[in-house]
Amino acid sequence: MIRRDLPHFYSDSTLLRFAMSLNQPASSNQSAVRAFFAGTFVGGLLFVMAGTVDAREWSSPNGYFRVIADAIAFDDKTVVLKKPTGELIAAELSELSEEDQEYVKSREAKEAYQQSVDQMQTWTAADGMKVRGRVLAYGKKDLVVRRQLGKIIINDKRFAAMDPLHQKVTLRILSKLVGQEITNEKELEAWGKTLRGDTRTFPLEGVLMELESGDEIGVPFFLFAKEEQELLQPGWKAWLANESDSEAQQRESLMLQTQAMEYQRDRENQKQIEALKLGLLATATGVVTIWEVILEPMQGNYYRRTSVMVPAQNSQAAEQMVLQKYPGFRVVGVRRASR
């Protein structure tokens, strides 16, 4: 597995980065932060984006659930599978067979990752500008602007000292936020005079993107074209609702990465990832019928559409078991998953 350590917000090395909480080792009770505008790496998130390999069978430990699919992305907790139909499902590794868990750690899976690390994506800004990069994670942070000795300071760094691309992104962000076209440093300094001695703080929400140069920049949602905003935003509320749950945020960012990768491969097929839950299969004994219960989150619940596999005598019993386990959802479908 490849370890990507994540930095703190707004340092000299990178203009725009977004935050994401991460788990520290078990010996520590502190949480690390994946950041937006960062330079010093802290904490740790393990993830790989795997290129599509030959489909294989995946199963629950007791074999009651089986599916043929490609592993297209995974980290140390979750694997995202693509069925032959194009459907995308995210399963927790702990709910899959030991063989599946070993496969994710295997040389074959790592080689699939190596084949995909250089695959850049092309993203379009709302004004038509094209950007080559890979979407990595959700995040949020304030953009702080002040004027000091006649110079504009962006998050403790002089605007004039920034990389040209970062300057361009910053100008576009500020133009949108203040409702005034600011296209160059001269216009920025003219606007900055209105600050007088004040500091302006703008909350930003969006994604962390790695550019072809290797730089990582934070891109607010509003800078993306409408179609791409619709692709990137569905998991945002779930990420936001889990600010105290670093594992859940890590899972949402992995699914964001996968969603972005699949969109670039096939822009006509914008399937959202469905969570797959197999934990209830552990209660299955003897000859049983396995049911698939499809759940949609109710208002105020920002989790993803979820498929739950459950052993039960009939569909009604399956529904009852699942709703007890997953409050905050409503059942939108039940089907028999075993003969």
Q: How is the chain split into domains, by residue range?
A: 3-48, 122-223, 278-336
pLDDT at site 21: 31
Residue 152: Cβ within 10 Å count: 21
Residue written as token pair 């950007």 = 131
- What pLDDT, on the 0 to 100 scale, is given for residue 13? 33
Confidence at residue 180, expressed as pLDDT on a 0 to 100 scale: 92
Asked whether the CA dihedral 230, 113, 58, 92 is positive or negative, the reply is: negative
Strands 3-7 and 41-48, by their bridges, are: antiparallel
**pTM of the predicted model, to two decimals?**
0.59
| pLDDT at res. 22 | 29
Residue owning tokens 């491969």: 265
C-alpha–C-alpha distance, residues 236 and 222, integer Å? 13
Q: Which pairs from 112-119 meet CB under 8 Å and 24+ separation?
A: 112/50, 112/51, 112/52, 112/53, 112/71, 113/2, 113/48, 113/49, 113/50, 113/51, 115/51, 116/49, 116/50, 116/51, 116/261, 117/49, 119/51, 119/261
Q: Which residues of the chain have pLDDT under 50?
A: 1-53, 117
pLDDT at 121: 80
pLDDT value, residue 287 = 59
**Cα distance between residue 113 and residue 108, in whole Å:** 9
Backbone angles phi, psi at 314, to 5 degrees: -155, 175
Highest CATH level, class, for 278-336: alpha beta
| Cα 158 to Cα 125: distance, rounded to the nearest angstrom | 25
CA distance 321 to 334: 12
